[in-house]
Structure formats: structure tokens, C-alpha cells
Amino acid sequence: MVVLAIAVIAGYVFLAEQVKEKESETIGKLANEPLQTENELIPYFEERIRETEKSIEEANQNGENGEFIYGHNIDYYNDMIAEARERAALAATAAAAYKEEKWAPVYDYQLFEDHRRLDMVAESKKGVHIPESLFGYEAAILQKEWMKEHNIKPVFPGSYISNIHEQWKPEDRKAKEWSRKLYRNMDHSGLFSLYMVFRDYLFFIPMCLLILLVGSGFSGERGKRPTLHLLETMPIKRRSLFLGKTIYSSVVAMGSAMVTFLFVVLVGTIFNRFGDWMYPVLRYHSNYEKQSFDFTGNRAFEGGYTFMPLGEYLLKALLLYVCVTLFLIALANIIGLVARQPLVVYALTGLISVAGYLASWKLDDFAQFSPFLYLNVPKIVNGEILTLLNNPAISVTMACAMLLGTTVILLVVTYFWMSFEKKSLKKRKHSVAEV
């Protein structure tokens, strides 16, 4: 636990520095926008207007209709000047409002920019391949409207939401990674820090460490004078020892993980703030749901989506984490009955889990019945897997039912198998004694 606490604090310090850097960079751009507009952008367009007027004059002197040929350019440059001044005014208001913790003007500026960027990308996509999807730009706009409505502190950068509908080519792998890093929202509040633990798969660190500590089962009791071997000399059934060992391991693993997650929130709350329960987290919906008349979410060209409050996301992620932990602990303890070395137990548990997860994607309409599919906690909670498989039956509720149900079945079968094994062993000993 001490190691995890140190890792949490070190990770938080690193995160806080990154967030402050992005925040400072964004606010600095807002503050510089009016000066840059007046000193650089507007003079540039005014110069283009003067050049166009000269071109019109020269065309007229040559007997051509200069207004017809070049006049529309002047209108275009004047529109650009008006737009630049409007953007600069919004930026100045947003920069001043941010210092006073008034978020609406900040969102007004961001929404102005996002709508302009969406129009540009939509127009460019007509003739050029752009891997980013319109889905990501539309979702970012609706996310900001939600945050403005609920008066939530802005989280930067937020101009685009990376998503599963992007069309990156295999050779653009580095560009894809750079894009994901550029558009990844970051904040160091308590709730958002915990959200990043799940979003970025950092929850696997405490999960794996705790399984290593308590998940070896009976294999960790071989080759020494262990407690379990001592208990086996007493009038306690081996199957009862197995069940008790599994329950104890599960309680320790879950309890330690919950303490770690609470510590993450506590550190973020102490050094920054608790966070926004209503912060909108993107949730995907399958084409089957999108095409339904009962669908009340948002429809983009690429797919349907809604937003769920951050608090709801975290509750579902924590619940699913508990179910996954119970399942893996039970699986590891069962393997520990036959494997003689803890390393073998860990290796087999990992291999079975990975193989089961990969095989689950091949089950098509029956994928929801595989407990291994639900090991990917963040992609189950945000609906990514159900969208990719186009299977609305995949949900957090189904995940908990399958994981807990499989865990109970595994433990019950193993319990009775150990009872049957003991009876068979007694019969063999009795037969040998008679001989």
C-alpha cells in the first residue's frame, strides 16, 4: 500500500504540472488573441484589400471589368476582418472571465471556434482525406454546450474528441498517437484524476499487484511450513480452506483497491478540488440503437452517442472493477490448486484472460456471454465495445451478471469437485488397505 501511495502522489504531481502547462498555454493564447488580431491579422487582410483595389484599377485601365473579376475578393477580406474582430472580442472577454471563474464566456469563445473549425473540416473532407471524423468535432461542440449549461469548469484542450470512427492509415501510426495526445483532456481534480486512472488503464497496476500478492492460492503454500498446510492437519476440510482462501483474497484485493482509488480522489481534492460530478463523458451507441425510433441520443454521420455524468461513469467503472477482480481472483485460486508454482499461476491466469478476451471478439452475436470480454473496463463503460460489435446486449449490467455468475459457477464446481476428489481418494485408500 505504501508503494501504491507513493506512486499515486508522484503520478499526481506529474499530472498537475501537465495540466497547469496546458491551462497556461490556452489562457495565454486567449489573452494574446486581440493583440495578434489587431497587429497582424487585420493589417494582413487590409493589405490584401489594397492590392485587390489596385488590381481592379489596372483591369479597368486595360478595358476589363475589374469589379466583376476581383470585387468578390474585397467582400471576402472584409468578412475575414469582421470575423477576426468578433473572435478577438470573444477571446478578450473569455480571458477576463476565466480569471473571475466565470465559464460561460470561455465556452462562447470555444464554441465559436469549434463551429468554424467544423465547417472548415466538413468542406475539406469533400476533396481531401482527413483521418479525424466529423463525429469528434460535433461531439466536442455538444460536450461544451453541456458543460456551459451545468457551469462546469473548462477542461483543456477540448477542441476535438478522439474516437473510434477515425480513419487513420496504417502508415500514419505516429500521427495518430500525436493526435490522441494533443486532444486528450486533462485535469487534476479528484474525480477527473480517478477518471484518468480508468480511461488510461492505470487501474491495471493495483489490480495486477494485488493479484500477485494474494492470488497464488494453494501454490504459494508449497515448499515451506505454511499456514494452510498446518490447517490441513486439523479437522478442517480442504475445500473449506480453498473457499476461505479465495474469499479472503478477494476481500483484501478489493479493499486495498478501493482504498487506493479513494486516495487518488483525496489527493486531487486536497491539492486542487473535488471535481465536477456532471462533467460529460462520451458514450457510444451502436448502429442498431442509432437506427431505432426510440433512440433519444445524438446522431452523427458516423454513429450515435450520448454523454453520461462523470460521477455515473466512475460508479459503473468501480462496480465493474470489483466484478473483474472477483473473477480473476477466483480463476487464479482455482489454477493454484493444480499449478505448483505461483509464477505458473500468474502466467496461466494472464494467458487465459488474454486468450479469452481475444476469442470473445469472434463470438459475434454471443459475445455478451463471455466474461472475458468485460475485462476491458473503460471500453465497456463508455460503450465502445458494444458499438464495434453492434451488440446492444453488452452493458455494465450484463458484465456484472456474467462475471459474478461465472465466478460463482467456478467456485461451486471446484468446491464439489474437491469433495468428490476426497471421497475418491478415501475409497482408493480403503481398497488398498483391504488388499
* Cβ contacts of 32 within 8 Å, gap of 6 or more: none
- Check: CB of residue 285 under 8 Å from CB of residue 295: yes
C-alpha torsion sign, points 14, 147, 82, 124: positive
Q: Which amino acid is it at 361?
A: W
Share of the chain residues as helix, strand and coil, in percent rounded to the nearest 5: 75, 5, 25
Question: Could you give the CA distance from residue 82 to residue 72 in angstroms, rounded to a whole number?
Answer: 15
- Beta-carbon contacts of residue 187 (< 8 Å; ≥ 6 apart): 19, 153, 155, 193, 275
Task: Note the pTM of the prediction, 2 decimals.
Answer: 0.88
- The secondary structure element, H or E, covering residue 397 is helix 396-434
Report d(CA 117, CA 136) in Å as an integer.
11
- Count CB atoms within 10 A of the CB of residue 26: 20
Which residues have C-beta within 8 Å of that of residue 279, sequence separation ≥ 6? 147, 152, 155, 191, 192, 195, 309, 310
330 HSE (CA, 13 A, CB side): 22
Quote the distance between the C-alpha of residue 1 and its chain's center.
25
Residue 53 to residue 73: CA distance in whole angstroms:
10
Per-residue burial over 244-255, b = 16 or more CB atoms within 10 Å of its CB, e = otherwise: ebbeebbeebbe
- Say how far apart CA 25 and CA 29 lie, in whole Å: 6
pLDDT tens string, the chain, 435 residues long: the values are 677 888 889 999 999 999 998 889 888 999 999 999 999 999 999 999 999 999 998 889 888 888 888 888 999 999 999 999 999 999 999 999 999 999 999 999 999 999 999 999 999 988 898 999 999 999 999 999 999 999 999 998 778 999 999 999 989 999 999 999 889 999 999 999 999 999 999 999 999 988 888 877 666 555 544 555 544 555 457 777 778 888 888 898 889 899 999 999 999 999 999 999 999 999 999 988 888 888 889 988 888 999 999 999 999 999 999 999 999 999 998 898 888 788 889 999 999 999 999 999 999 889 999 999 999 999 999 999 999 999 999 999 999 999 999 999 999 998 888 777 655 545 554 454 444
Question: What three-state secondary structure class fits 214?
Answer: helix
pLDDT in the model for residue 218: 63
CB 387 within 8 A of CB 164: yes
- Number of Cβ atoms within 10 Å of the Cβ of 118: 17
Dihedral over Cα of 84, 86, 88, 94: its sign: negative
18, 157 contact by CB (below 8 A): no
For 190, counting Cβ atoms within 10 Å of its Cβ (0-12 exposed, 13-18 middle, 19+ buried), the class is buried
Answer whether 374's CB lies under 8 Å from 386's CB: no
